[in-house]
Structure 1
Amino acid sequence: MTDRVAIVTGGSGGIGRAVSERLAADGISVLVTFSGGSQRADDVVTAITDAGGRAVAARADVAEPAEVNALLDVAEAEFGGVDVVVNTAGIMRLSPLAQLSLDDLDAMYRVNVRGTFVVSQAAVQRLRSGGALINFSSSVVKLALPTYSAYVAGKAAVDGITRILAQEVRGRDITVNAVAPGPTATPLFLDGKPTEVVEHLAAQAPLERLGEPKDIAEAVSFLAGPARWVNGQVVYVNGGIV
């Protein structure tokens, strides 16, 4: 075990669960956060503690500053401080721009942009020296795929927030980076996609497969711990898709 403590937003499913379990396996105490039902988060905590790690779960709406600051309060009360914040919480709703519901646009911006901003704002005020903030972008920002315009606009905003915030915490020994996954086999990615579309996307990478949540968690583990000279970057974790 280390004395490092991590908060993982959206830590109860998909990539978030893999990140939570990987950081715990690295010896980091983990606060697993969720926004809906608690059962999946409880399952993650059980898996971590059964494996000898330390974890608790807490609910929060990442777009609400009071709720996000309460998460940091929980982490400090349970584990003594906060060293790593990983912002995996996000939603994706796809449509051609001309047909996109503005309600869907607003929902994505509330979680993906405002949520990233609120969590980042709280994190950099309370992370300990040697800390790491890791946001989540997406490889589709540079791929220009039809139906992704609103989602990409939000993730491009995350890229900008990340790069600028890394400059704004100058002198505090805090790194700020983003991970940009490629097509990854999670419910968020697979939901509603025909088999032929999934197969086409899987073939895009030179490795000719979809990413797995553990692939993304491996990159997060690097940025959360040993990568002290990687800062202000958007790290593409996509198997080589260009």
Structure 2
Amino acid sequence: MSLQGKNVIIAGGAKNLGGLLSRTLAEQGANIAVHYNSAATAEAAAETVDSVTANGVRALSIQGDLTRPDVVTEVFDTAARELGGLDIAINTAGKVLRKPIVETTEAEYDSMLDINAKAAYFFIKEAALHLEDNGKIVTIVTALLAAFTDGYSTYAGGKATVEHFTRAAAKELADRGISVNAVAPGPMDTPFFYGQETDERVQFHKSQAMGNQLTKIENIAPIVEFLVDQGWWITGQTIFANGGYTTR
């Protein structure tokens, strides 16, 4: 199979894992709609679009708050219109918070569940409405779904819902040949992780995986690339990719 000429939308596609996926899939011949959330990421989105188009494919950036279902619809409408349809939808967006339940405010709970659960749900919904038959949907979740730990109730709790969204969508879209999966990385070596942890906990997390290291975005991108191409027969699954950090 090949991604040549396929049209892809990537939520959070400007930087970190999303940025790497944008560039990697473009190298395989895919056209890319790079979604980003806020004006603070606009420059990174523009740079990613430049990198993508250097491969001779089409690309655009689209700003939008995915916690608003109407905005999710607008983002997908724009991507489909500008690229001439959509074949693949990848959601890398998320927000991390490490805080005890007894200290978590209602506002923090609402924000975490809006970003990690609600936005993911309506991203899958719009993907189902916009993708061509035999399309692919992938959401990035977290290895914490297989962990028994403290502090991450709203993060792991929000991402846990995506497993159920994924399984339901996989069944509902099976007759159209659309695969729907989630990928669960271990703690990733990105700025999102370090702000939540002490140096001691970072070392502990590293010690739990092969090579005494955190998950790198370069470890995850090939798995997503496989799922949206040759791995199309895999559907309704959560794939734990964390160097042995944890499993069920």
Distance in 2 between the 1:175 and 1:87 partners?
14
Gapped regions of structure 1 (runs ≥ 5): none
Shift of 1:169: 1.2
Q: Which residue of 1 aligns with 2:140?
A: 136
The answer on whether the counterparts of 2:17 and 2:217 sit within 8 Å (CA) in structure 1 is yes
CA deviations 1:72-116 (Å, max 9, x no partner) are 222222221101100111111110111112211110111111100
2:38 to 36, 42, 45: 36
Alignment of 1:227-238 (within 5 A): 227-238=231-242
* SS of 1:178 mapped into structure 2: strand
Shift of 1:163: 1.0
Shift of 1:188: 0.7
Gapped regions of structure 2 (runs ≥ 5): none
Count of residues paired in the alignment: 242
Distance in 2 between the 1:165 and 1:20 partners?
24
Distance in 2 between the 1:189 and 1:53 partners?
32
Alignment of 1:5-16 (within 5 A): 5-16=7-18
Shift of 1:193: 2.1
The answer on whether the counterparts of 1:33 and 1:59 sit within 8 Å (CA) in structure 2 is yes
Query: Aligned letter for 2:146?
Result: K
Q: Which residue of 2 aligns with 1:202?
A: 206
The answer on whether the counterparts of 1:137 and 1:158 sit within 8 Å (CA) in structure 2 is yes
Shift of 1:192: 4.0
The answer on whether the counterparts of 1:138 and 1:180 sit within 8 Å (CA) in structure 2 is yes
Distance in 2 between the 1:100 and 1:19 partners?
33
The answer on whether the counterparts of 1:9 and 1:88 sit within 8 Å (CA) in structure 2 is yes
Alignment TM-score, normalising by the size of structure 2:
0.93
The answer on whether the counterparts of 2:97 and 2:196 sit within 8 Å (CA) in structure 1 is no
Query: Aligned letter for 1:59?
Result: Q
Q: Which residue of 2 aligns with 1:25?
A: 27
Query: Aligned letter for 1:106?
Result: D
Alignment TM-score, normalising by the size of structure 1:
0.95
The answer on whether the counterparts of 2:31 and 2:83 sit within 8 Å (CA) in structure 1 is yes
Distance in 2 between the 1:84 and 1:117 partners?
16
Query: Aligned letter for 2:220?
Result: I
Distance in 1 between the 2:198 and 2:57 partners?
38
1:219 to 223, 229, 239: 223
Asked whether 1:57 is paired with 2:47, we answer: no
Distance in 1 between the 2:116 and 2:216 partners?
21
Distance in 2 between the 1:232 and 1:223 partners?
11
* SS of 2:211 mapped into structure 1: coil
The answer on whether the counterparts of 1:19 and 1:214 sit within 8 Å (CA) in structure 2 is no
Distance in 2 between the 1:196 and 1:208 partners?
14
The answer on whether the counterparts of 2:58 and 2:83 sit within 8 Å (CA) in structure 1 is no
Distance in 1 between the 2:35 and 2:99 partners?
29
Alignment of 1:35-184 (within 5 A): 35-37=37-39, 38-184=42-188
CA deviations 1:170-215 (Å, max 9, x no partner) are 2101000001111111111112422222121111112321111121
CA deviations 1:124-171 (Å, max 9, x no partner) are 011101100101211011112210111111111111111111111121
Distance in 2 between the 1:109 and 1:87 partners?
15
Alpha-carbon spacing, 1:56–1:202, altered in 2? closer, same or farther (3 Å): same
Alpha-carbon spacing, 1:82–1:205, altered in 2? closer, same or farther (3 Å): same
Distance in 2 between the 1:72 and 1:13 partners?
19
